[in-house]
Structure 1
């Protein structure tokens, strides 16, 4: 290969030459850049106007969210009352500088908020307990409806999509079955009691 030989394909070299000669000169390129920049700034200014309008429209809703939040109302209840989704409520709380996360994880600013958060946490705990009691009663009723026998445990496990040993452990935990090893006679005797 000769020392001055081209390493590019002649067609590629020709295409590059045409692109460079057809390119506008520097002042024209600068003008195009300025025009593009001003269009971008105009677009951003219009978006800022929309954001200000949304803030004005949401002021009343944000005030309601803030009031309910400080009262200790659950986020899902605030969402239902305001017509927002949970993420909308979190966004409002973020705009208001209240954290936007689960209110039980943030520190209350004053005694009133502390009391509201304590009430909310107590209500949540009570709700969880009531739901667990309903699930427990439902499972016991379903077990008894199936006959309350060892074969009922297998059938119940299939209905709930769990292993029979896990269903048996769950039934022992909630008191539907006696602890320890279960035999068919034990289940029959429990039903007779």
Structure 2
């Protein structure tokens, strides 16, 4: 059964905590085995004088509060890597394609809405002509007219038109927002690519 690990108050454990070292890291610096560090930190053994002297070197290097003499210097910022054309161009193509698909869907929706609006106006005009408010019937003399059926026919057309699906305004606003964001991202990507050297000729 493995031994249970307990927090250690030993000097080596303190040094490891200060510098973020593992037992193996510290053991390599001290030129000993990791197991020996573990035994010392568990209180089952002690370091030799030579190992203690090496450990003291690390102890003296521990930081002092920032702003005081001897404080660790702040690490220099790592230089940013150069931008690569390939992922930027790939993303630009993706943005343009998605924007194209959204525009196509919006155009189809606008066309369908225009057709529905035209149908409503046409049905209203047809009802006003076939069933005028004054009760006169615009049929040729001698024609047999079933006014009830004409009214039923017009009512059915109106019901079908009213039942036609209409885009939700909120959903459309979100789609248009997505399109604007894609266009803005594509413009930003084009700017980044314009500042990069051209791709080498194959």
What TM-score does the superposition give when structure 2 sets the normalisation length?
Answer: 0.24
Which is helix-richer, 1 or 2? 1
Larger Rg: 2
